[in-house]
């Protein structure tokens, strides 16, 4: 569960962790019944409609007013959004 929490960027305190673990166990135990369903050869269904995507024309549209990103951010530096120092190279996973 620690691993899942880290992937999800959640950090429940020790008091919460135990009850969370119990709750999740119960739920996972219940939802596991999907594994018992006889679904051999059935394709997973992600989109209920098979209408293909409507693609947009490449016409540049309106942007947010200049300064919006900095104004919305809890911390900013000029026009930039400011975050704690990041170590390592650009593109964490790309």
Partner 1 sequence: MERRGAHQIAADVASGSISAAAVIDEALSSARGIGRSLNAVLETFDDHAMERARALDAARERGETPGPLAGVPVLVKDNICTSVGRTTCASRMLEHYTSPFDATAVARLEAAGAIVIGKSNLDEFAMGGSGEHSAFGPTKNPWDLSRVPGGSSSGSAAAVAAGIVPMALGSDTGGSVRQPAAFCGVVGLKPTYGLVSRLGLVAFASSLDQIGPITRTVRDAALALRVIAGHDPGDATSSRRHHPDPLEGLDHRVHHLTVGVPRQARGEANRPEAASAFDDALRTFAGLGARIVDLDLPSLDAAIAAYYIVSSAEASSNLARFDGLRYGRRAASRPGESVESLVSRSRTEGLGPEVQRRIMLGTHVLSAGYADAYYANALRVRRLLKNEFDAAFASGCHVIATPTTPGAAFRIGAHDRDPLAMYLEDLYTVPANLAGLPAISLPCGVSTAQGSALPLGLQLIAPAFHDAELLRAARMFESASPHDVLRPPVVPAA
Partner 2 sequence: MPLPGIEDIKSVELIVGMEIHVELAARSKMFCRSPNPAHLAFDGAPPNSLVDPVVLGLPGALPVPNRAAVESAVKVGLALNCSIARRTKWDRKSYFYPDLPKGYQISQYDIPLCFDGSVDLPGLDDRGQPDPERPGRRIGIVRAHLEEDAGKLLHESPGGGALDGTLADFNRAGTPLLEVVTQPDFRSADEAVAFARMLRSICRFLGVSECVMQKGHIRFEPNINAALTLRDGRVVRTPIVEVKNLNSFKSLRGAIEFEAAEQPARWAHDRREMGRGTKTTRGWDDRLERTVAQREKEDADDYRYFPDPDLPAVVIDDAWLASIRDGLPELPAQRESRYVREYGLSKKEAAALLDEPGTCRFYESTIEELVPLGVAGARAGRLAANFVLQSGQRRANERGVGVETLGITPSALARIAALREEGRLSSQSADELFGFMCEPENLGMDAAALAAARGLLIVRDDAALERWCDEVIAANPKVAMDVTSGKVQAVGRLVGEVMKMAGAAADAKTVREALLRKLTPG
The residue ranges that bind partner 1 (CB under 8 A) are 1, 3-12, 16, 20, 23-24, 26-28, 30-35, 37, 39, 42-49, 51, 53-54, 56, 64, 68-69, 72-75, 81, 83-87
Binding to partner 2 by CB under 8 A, coded x per residue (else -) over 6-45, reads xx-x------------------------------------
Q: What are phi and psi of 25, to 5 degrees?
A: -60, -45
Nearest to 67 by CA among 76, 75, 79, 77: 79
CA distances, 59 to each of 24, 52, 56, 64 (Å) = 46, 21, 8, 16
Whose Cβ is closer to partner 2: residue 8's or residue 15's? 8
């Amino acid at each position: 569960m620690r691993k899942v929490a880290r992937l999800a960027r959640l950090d429940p305190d020790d008091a919460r962790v135990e009850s969370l673990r119990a709750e999740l166990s119960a739920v996972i135990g219940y939802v596991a019944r999907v594994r018992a369903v006889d679904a051999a050869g059935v394709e997973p269904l992600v989109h209920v409609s098979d209408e293909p995507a409507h693609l947009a024309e490449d016409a540049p549209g309106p942007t947010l007013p200049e300064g919006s990103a900095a104004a919305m951010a809890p911390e900013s530096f000029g026009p930039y959004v400011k975050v704690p120092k990041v170590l390592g190279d650009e593109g964490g996973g790309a």
